[in-house]
Amino acid sequence: MRTQANRRNWGARLVVLVPYLWLFVFFLVPFVIVLKISLSQTALALPPYMPVFDFAAGWAGLMEFTAQLSADSFRLLSSDAIYLLSYLKSLQIAAISTILLLAIGYPIAYGMARAPRSWQPPLVMAVVLPFWTSFLIRIYAWINILQRDGLLNDVLTRLHAIDAPAAWLSSDTAIYIGILYSYLPFMVLPLYAALEKMDETLLEAAADLGCPRWKTFWLVTLPLSLPGVAAGTLLCFIPIVGEFVIPDLLGGSETMMIGQTLWTEFFSNRDWPVASAIAVSLLGLLLVPILFYERLQQRSLEGSR
């Protein structure tokens, strides 16, 4: 009997182990490698950094290897303003676009959740539909729309909204348009999920107790949709901070988001240690909102128990 119970126990532990194993192999190990590179020095070699860990050298090799590690790359990051400005620019763009996404996404999600039941699956489908085309192709399409002789200028001049074609492309406006367009589904879907499961009799109960409609939104609907707001905000904010493709294709040369800086260090300057240091710092930066979200989740889990 006991051995059987033990065996079952081991089976259960193995199942629990699988996700940890997954995280270990595909997250922790790569991260340690990146961390290690960030502590190395550039070298004209393959791979383009040193020291390279040598298993054959044994204990002495390990000691020598550790001695050669340095925080020079991180020192460079904090000393050169270009990196700090890049981080700040990324945070600014991510914050502004997340607020805009929330402002645009909330009414859409609200409308979807209050639509007749039979309309909702097609509406969700419509939100997800852009994913059927490659992300890159959609951004290239925006280049076409935003360029000087593109669709946007064409329509605006025909409507006499502007006299001469404006330069939309290669500007922060273009970055915001691209980000809002690309990330809207990630904002709408969690908001919709939160609003959709809300019991509508709660709105009737509020009205019954003397609460006008607009006030019911602030007192009942919004507080109950906060988990969706948190999920949507983080789902957008975190990847936008590290966004590379959109600013690279739509943005101007004067705007460098951190993703572009990283790319330049890695591919143009072949400075792997600095590129890795940027990645590690970015992760540290993004850990703040992620941990905040974790705590929020934890609290709502405890609440529902």
Partner 1 sequence: MADGGEAAQNNAANEQSPLVRFEAVTKRFGSVAAIESFSLDIAHGEFFALLGPSGCGKTTLLRMLAGFETPTEGRILLDREDIDAVQPHRRPVNMMFQNYALFPHLTVERNIGFGLRQENATRAEISERVTEMLALVRLQGFGRRRIDQLSGGQRQRVALARSLIKRPRVLLLDEPLAALDKKLRAETQFELMELQRRLGTTFVIVTHDQEEAMIVADRIAVMNHGRLMQVATPSEIYERPNSRWVADFIGEVTIVEGRISASGAMDSALGQLRVAGTSGAKSGGTVWLALRPEKIGMSGERPAGELNKVPGTISEIGYRGDISIYKVRLADRSLMKVALANVGVRGNARFKAGDLVWLSWPPDVGVVLDS
* Residues contributing to the site for partner 1 (CB under 8 A): 199, 201-202, 204-212, 215, 220, 223-224, 303-305
Distance from C-alpha of 3 to C-alpha of 58, rounded to nearest angstrom:
41
- CB of residue 118 vs partner 1: minimum separation in angstroms? 15
Helix, strand and coil content of the chain, in percent to the nearest 5, comes to 80, 0, 20
**Cis ω for the linkage preceding 289 (within 30 of 0):** no
List the structure tokens of 20: 């940890």
- CB of residue 202 vs partner 1: minimum separation in angstroms? 5
For partner 1, the closer CB: 190 or 251: 190
- CB of residue 217 vs partner 1: minimum separation in angstroms? 13
For partner 1, the closer CB: 84 or 202: 202
Give Cα separations from 188 to 1, 90, 181 (angstroms).
Answer: 52, 22, 12
* Residue 251 near residue 177 (C-beta atoms within 8 A): no
- CB of residue 297 vs partner 1: minimum separation in angstroms? 16
For partner 1, the closer CB: 103 or 222: 222
For partner 1, the closer CB: 284 or 303: 303
- CB of residue 216 vs partner 1: minimum separation in angstroms? 9
For partner 1, the closer CB: 146 or 194: 194
Residue 34's CB is within 10 A of a number of other CB atoms, namely: 17
Residue 176's CB is within 10 A of a number of other CB atoms, namely: 17
Tell me which DSSP letter residue 244 carries.
-
- CB of residue 119 vs partner 1: minimum separation in angstroms? 17
Calculate ∠ Cα 17-22-26, nearest 5°. Answer: 155
Helix (H) or strand (E) segment spanning residue 48: none
Distance from C-alpha of 22 to C-alpha of 28, rounded to nearest angstrom:
9
For partner 1, the closer CB: 39 or 194: 194
For partner 1, the closer CB: 7 or 197: 197
Residue 278's CB is within 10 A of a number of other CB atoms, namely: 27
- CB of residue 203 vs partner 1: minimum separation in angstroms? 9
